[in-house]
Structure 1
Amino acid sequence: MTGVHMLGDVRIRFDLRVLLALWVAFLFFPLLASNGYILSLGVVFCINLILIASLNLIMGYCGQISLCHGGFFGLGAYVSGVLSAKYGVPSLLDIPCAMVLTAFAALLVALPTLRLKGHYLAMATLGFNAILSVLFVELVDLTGGPNGLSGVGPVSVLGFSFDAGSRFFYLAAALSLLLMWGILNLVQSRIGRAITSLADSEIGAASLGINTYGLKVMIFVLSASLAALAGSLYVHFNEFASPETFDFSSSIMLVVMVAVGGWGKYWGAFFGALVFTVVPELLRTFQDLQLFIFGLGMILVLMFFPGGLAGMAERMGRRRRQARTALGVAAARGIRDNG
């Protein structure tokens, strides 16, 4: 058991060092970005990282299917955007309000649906996403309907406005990396170990005295509130929200990105966000084929790399360490034989 804890501590220290390196890289990114377009992709990546990391919490670590994450993303965007554009509420208040309201909506969904399993749970969450998609279009006076919501102001804190691209990038980067640090601490905690046990065996977790239903509800609500945070950042960055951004296909794409990045892998969210940000730009000329190509990519990943890109990176690192160890042992034997 001591060896397991030591291995876990080594892994945590490694992940923290990589996370610190990312902090440093993010500090210099606006200086190295050649134009505003590249800088905006950096902002989109940070928002996608929050979004996919939050879905990985409920699907990857907790093992529960959710097909309404795009809806929670949209609910956070519209609540924050409406409060800003229609009522002049400052962003320091509208973003927390969006997170709280989305968390409450997620609680109402979670209480009945998380008693279901498998396909039944997937269909129930899909139904809620459909309801939200209709509301985003039909509540024209609030959401702007099919034309979208415009007039949303930039994030402003105590008179300091994050209106420039570099300013918003630093805000989004700080929030995304703080979230990754928080998830790292969560999954290594006692609660985190209980969460991961649900994905392995819910019956086994219940036999150990874990309140599986309560834990699933808690993680579902937390995941939805973080999706709302991503939605709030999205609408304040673009200063616009369109209902097509948050429809059913967006929820499917997020599930695909969790799978491609790596289910239940800490760095899976990072790889998934990277693919979700870069690949659509590369496929912009094939917009109608994007979902098909992403779906094909998911099939190939599940067939040949079931741990996703993060799992593949872990295996490559493990083989490299084993090869280095074998080389060191061989060198030590050679020195001993020569001596």
Structure 2
Amino acid sequence: MKIERTATAAAIILLAVFPVIAASSDNTSYYIDIMTMVGIYSMITVGLTLLVGYAGQISLGHAAFFGIGAYSSGVLTTKFGINPWAALAAGAAISSTIAYLIGLPSLKLKGHYLAMATLAFGIIIYIFFKEAGYLTGGPSGLTDIPGISIFGFSFDSDLKYYFLVYTVLLLEIIYSRNIMKSRVGRALKAIRDDEDAASATGVAVYQYKLKIFVLSALFASIAGSLYAYYFNFIDPSSFGFFPSVKFLIMIIVGGLGSLPGTLFGTWFITFLDSEWLSSVGDLTTLVYGIILLLLLMFLPNGVAGECRNLKIKIIKWSNKNK
């Protein structure tokens, strides 16, 4: 736990000074842009860490909640002139309600019913984004989405938006850590390890699973709204099945149940996507499949898990040589 706290603190410090480091580069705007996307994606993967890493429930449709937040903000601001913050709240409410309705039947059952339900839901939402052109702009996307401001202060530059995103992410991380350290976090881990045993000890299994699923959908929706306001444009390609799989790969790379690991995995995959995979075109899916296979073979516990194993080995070695 001490290592996790140190890693989290180091990450926060690094993120705070990153713009200064990036300023020395010829591609300052490019790197700030990528790190802003890392922050937005991290909002989703932190929620998935709670859902998958702690509660043991798999979602294959979180890109749909990401998209609902983005399109709610985009449609409400461009077509109805609603305040961007109010549109963000509306998107979060819609995503939370839909997650609740999906979870009501699927989370009562054991097994991977939630994965199947969210997979079907994600496909339906993706088709809706593509076909409801009168509302979403169809395959061409939705343009002219306004930026966001607060008390007259406009986040109209990449640097300002970078700090907005990481402020929101920091609040989300603090809230998530409080959950992990609380009675709720212990209950979620008990559910992940053995639902029957957890239920026998008085844990409200169904209620906890439902609440954490709704919370993770809420986080994804907020990320979607901030994504829309940042790019001022959205299209369906960002919210299909493959992005949902990519979010899962991010938390697997970092290590399930570890917040520092989640942040690392999100950073690694986002940079990999931007720096190298953008040039392979249709082979991207194949490359991600190979990455996932190699992870399961050689790093089944992710980077965070391997760091924990290394720490144990070092302690054993030092005790042995005393």
Q: TM range, normalised to the smaller chain?
A: over 0.9
- Return the TM-score normalized by structure 2: 0.93
Report the alpha carbon displacement of residue 119 of structure 1 after superposing the two structures with TM. 4.2
In structure 1, what residue type is equivalent to 2:9? L
Distance (Å, rounded) in 1 between the aligned partners of 2:56 and 2:3: 25
The alpha-carbon distance between structure 1 residues 286 and 97, as it changes in their structure 2 partners (threshold 3 A), is same
Aligned equivalent of 1:24: 13
Aligned equivalent of 1:302: 296
Report the alpha carbon displacement of residue 14 of structure 1 after superposing the two structures with TM. 4.2
Match of 2:161 among 156, 164, 168: 168
Report the alpha carbon displacement of residue 121 of structure 1 after superposing the two structures with TM. 3.1
Distance (Å, rounded) in 1 between the aligned partners of 2:35 and 2:250: 17
Task: Summarize the alignment of residues 141-152 of structure 1 with structure 2, pairs less than 5 Å apart.
Answer: 141-152=134-145
Distance (Å, rounded) in 1 between the aligned partners of 2:272 and 2:76: 33
Report the alpha carbon displacement of residue 301 of structure 1 after superposing the two structures with TM. 1.2
Distance (Å, rounded) in 2 between the aligned partners of 1:104 and 1:139: 21
Task: Summarize the alignment of residues 245-284 of structure 1 with structure 2, pairs less than 5 Å apart.
Answer: 245-281=238-274, 282-284=276-278
CA RMSD of aligned residues (A): 1.6
Unaligned ranges ≥5, structure 1? 1-10, 330-339
3-state SS of 1:149 partner? coil
- Return the TM-score normalized by structure 1: 0.89
Matched, 1:185 2:171: no
Aligned equivalent of 2:59: 66
Report the alpha carbon displacement of residue 168 of structure 1 after superposing the two structures with TM. 0.4
Provide, for residues 255-304 of structure 1, a one-character-per-residue CA deviation record: whole Å limited to 9, x for no partner: 22222221222323112201221111212111222221111111111122
Provide, for residues 32-91 of structure 1, a one-character-per-residue CA deviation record: whole Å limited to 9, x for no partner: 212200110110111111111111211111111211111111111111111222222222
Q: 2:7, 2:260 within 8 Å by CA — same for their partners in 1?
A: no
Distance (Å, rounded) in 2 between the aligned partners of 1:67 and 1:117: 16
Aligned equivalent of 1:292: 286
18-27 or 95-104: bigger deviation? 18-27
Distance (Å, rounded) in 1 between the aligned partners of 2:58 and 2:288: 19
Task: Summarize the alignment of residues 1-339 of structure 1 with structure 2, pairs less than 5 Å apart.
Answer: 11=1, 13-33=2-22, 34=25, 35-281=28-274, 282-327=276-321, 329=322
3-state SS of 1:240 partner? coil
Q: 1:47, 1:172 within 8 Å by CA — same for their partners in 2?
A: yes
Provide, for residues 89-129 of structure 1, a one-character-per-residue CA deviation record: whole Å limited to 9, x for no partner: 22222212211111011111111111233344322221111
The alpha-carbon distance between structure 1 residues 91 and 16, as it changes in their structure 2 partners (threshold 3 A), is farther
47-56 or 196-205: bigger deviation? 47-56
Distance (Å, rounded) in 1 between the aligned partners of 2:182 and 2:315: 27
Distance (Å, rounded) in 1 between the aligned partners of 2:189 and 2:199: 13
14-23 or 37-46: bigger deviation? 14-23
Distance (Å, rounded) in 2 between the aligned partners of 1:46 and 1:15: 19
Structure number with greater Rg is: 1
Unaligned ranges ≥5, structure 2? none
Q: 1:260, 1:297 within 8 Å by CA — same for their partners in 2?
A: no
Taking every aligned residue pair, what percent have the same amino acid on both sides? 36
281-290 or 191-200: bigger deviation? 281-290
